[in-house]
């Protein structure tokens, strides 16, 4: 793990194809989530730095937007190869910054973003760039300069989910990575520089959301914003973007229901559901944090969930036995503990876990894997996104009641349905107002569209849908 002797001090930002000095001298410390020690620092940039980046992206757009798809594909392949070469470094860096167990980081935090770039050349061939409709030729063209504002929980993957399709579409990019887990973004910028991407096509400015993020969202030189983060911050981005009437794609919070129907195999469904709640220590916007079970099977569900939760051993992400790393920060740890205390105060049944730190892990931002039961829809822990390893089991009376409870939040990002009858599970899934639903634990598909209903946002990422999101439509009447 990083010690004070191995500080990663990043003192430049990437604008116009070069590493340049930021306008100010302020910095932001990066904290190792397991040791609570400073592991690095990044520039706390200003709105003037964001303006410089936008101007560079603006200047590069005219030529980049006219490049051939083959040329753009070549750069995307080179970036994918560069990320692949540095995958061990990426995984280790993110495990230190964020706390995800290293074995998972290698697959998810390093593997997925590499795959995002690698998939784009083939996906570009699936887009209808031109089509004839009557006497019209309909063209799909790049939206322009994309402002990409990304979160800390899957930091490099969420960057790749915006930057890769933007480059494929012919857009230029100004990226503001999360200031909480930022060091991995510098690796991507170095890879992009080595790939020889034309100057100004990709620019990176670090800093806080209220300063750099707001400067990008409101900038008249930015044609479109893609934001991933909290619903509260998403509202602010929308508000700022509206001043220049620019489109915004956003993927926000979630409180996703996992409906276990009465004919499901509980011995499979319950442990799988606990795992889907606890991935990345629960710091997953699409985590299945609400488990809906038939009231008559509540005791069975509690017993299975307790056993599954207690198998998630908290510990150092670099230890092979660890199944649950720390949370990302002290702020996040206190927030999650507060929700656990509120769950108990509002009368939910604590099945396992609790607000006290795990035994022997007083240092590091650790929270016990926690399960509540008898959670009613009006309870805070049933309505608000906790972003920690906290599962709420909600009993229901019948199928209609399950659907009602499933849809009874402001969110609609993900979900799950379990049944021994797949057609029945699909029928229930069709009634759920949410963007993607696992049927009987169906595997994550990185090419399928990802995004939400209601206050979970709008727009879609992943696969060809990600490219199409960043295209404008023009019709030529011939």
Report, as residue numbers or ranges, the catalytic residues. Answer: 251, 285
With b meaning 16 or more CB within 10 Å and e meaning fewer, what string describes 437-458?
bbbbbeeeebeebbbbebbbbb
Q: Quick one: which of 226, 206, 189 has its CA closest to 83?
A: 189
Q: Quick one: which of 61, 303, 330, 319 has its CA closest to 180?
A: 330
Residue 357: is it exposed, middle or buried by C-beta count within 10 angstroms (0-12/13-18/19+)?
A: middle
Q: Quick one: which of 350, 270, 340, 344 has its CA closest to 311?
A: 270
Q: How far apart are CA 249 and CA 235, in angstroms?
A: 12
Residue 267: is it exposed, middle or buried by C-beta count within 10 angstroms (0-12/13-18/19+)?
A: exposed
Residue whose entry in the numeric block shows the structure tokens 């520089």: 193
Q: Quick one: which of 255, 245, 299, 294 has its CA closest to 277?
A: 255
Q: How far apart are CA 214 and CA 236, in angstroms?
A: 8
250 and 285 in contact (C-beta within 8 Å)?
A: no
Residue 314 in tokens: 């908290």
457 and 251 in contact (C-beta within 8 Å)?
A: yes
User: Three-state SS for 160?
Assistant: helix
Residue whose entry in the numeric block shows the structure tokens 């692949």: 84
Could you tell me whether strands 457-458 and 27-31 are parallel, antiparallel, or unpaired per DSSP bridges? unpaired
258 and 288 in contact (C-beta within 8 Å)?
A: yes
The CA dihedral of 264, 266, 268, 272, to the nearest 10 degrees, is 100
Task: Name 461's Cβ contacts closer than 8 Å, sequence gap at least 6.
Answer: 161, 162, 165, 226, 249, 251, 449, 450, 451, 469
Residue 297 in tokens: 């099977």
Helix axes 69-85, 155-169, angle to 10 degrees: 160
159 and 173 in contact (C-beta within 8 Å)?
A: no
């Amino acid at each position: 793990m990083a010690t004070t002797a191995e500080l990663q001090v990043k003192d430049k930002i990437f604008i116009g194809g070069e590493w340049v000095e930021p306008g100010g001298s302020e910095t932001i410390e990066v904290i190792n989530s397991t040791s609570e020690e400073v592991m690095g620092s990044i520039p706390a940039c200003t709105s003037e730095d964001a303006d410089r980046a936008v101007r560079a992206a603006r200047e590069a757009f005219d030529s980049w937007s006219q490049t051939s798809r083959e040329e753009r594909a070549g750069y995307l392949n080179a970036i994918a190869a560069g990320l692949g070469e540095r995958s061990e470094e990426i995984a280790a860096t993110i495990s230190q910054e964020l706390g995800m167990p290293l074995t998972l980081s290698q697959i998810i935090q390093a593997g997925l973003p590499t795959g995002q770039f690698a998939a784009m050349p083939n996906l570009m061939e699936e887009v209808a760039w031109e089509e004839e409709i009557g006497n019209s030729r309909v063209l799909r063209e790049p939206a322009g300069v994309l402002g990409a504002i990304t979160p800390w929980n899957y930091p490099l993957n969420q960057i790749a989910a915006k930057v890769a399709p933007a480059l494929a579409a012919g857009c230029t990019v100004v990226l503001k990575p999360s200031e909480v887990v930022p060091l991995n973004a510098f690796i991507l910028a170095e890879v992009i520089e080595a790939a020889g991407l034309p100057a100004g096509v990709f620019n990176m400015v670090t800093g806080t959301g209220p300063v750099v993020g707001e400067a990008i969202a409101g900038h008249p030189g930015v044609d479109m914003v893609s934001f991933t983060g909290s619903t509260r911050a998403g509202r602010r981005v929308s508000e700022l973007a509206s001043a220049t009437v620019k489109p915004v794609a956003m993927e926000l919070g979630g409180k996703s229901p996992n409906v276990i129907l009465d004919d499901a195999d509980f011995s499979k469904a319950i442990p799988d559901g606990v795992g889907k709640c606890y991935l990345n220590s629960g710091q997953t916007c699409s985590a299945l944090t609400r488990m809906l079970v038939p009231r008559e099977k509540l005791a069975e569900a509690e017993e299975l969930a307790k056993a599954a939760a207690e198998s998630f051993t908290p510990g150092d992400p670099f230890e092979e036995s660890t199944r649950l790393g720390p949370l990302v920060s002290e702020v996040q740890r206190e927030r999650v503990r507060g929700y656990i205390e509120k769950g108990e105060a509002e009368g939910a049944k604590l099945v396992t876990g609790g607000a006290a730190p795990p035994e022997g892990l007083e240092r590091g931002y650790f929270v016990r894997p926690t399960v509540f039961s008898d959670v009613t829809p009006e309870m805070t822990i049933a309505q608000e996104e906790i972003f920690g390893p906290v599962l709420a089991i909600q009993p229901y009376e019948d199928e209609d009641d399950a659907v009602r409870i499933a849809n009874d939040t402001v969110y609609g990002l993900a979900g799950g349905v379990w049944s021994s009858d797949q057609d029945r599970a699909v029928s229930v899934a069709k009634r759920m107002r949410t963007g993607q639903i696992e049927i009987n634990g169906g595997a994550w598909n990185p090419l399928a569209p990802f995004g939400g209903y209601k206050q979970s946002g709008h727009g879609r990422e992943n696969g060809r849908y990600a490219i199409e999101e960043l295209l404008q439509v023009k019709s030529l009447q011939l």
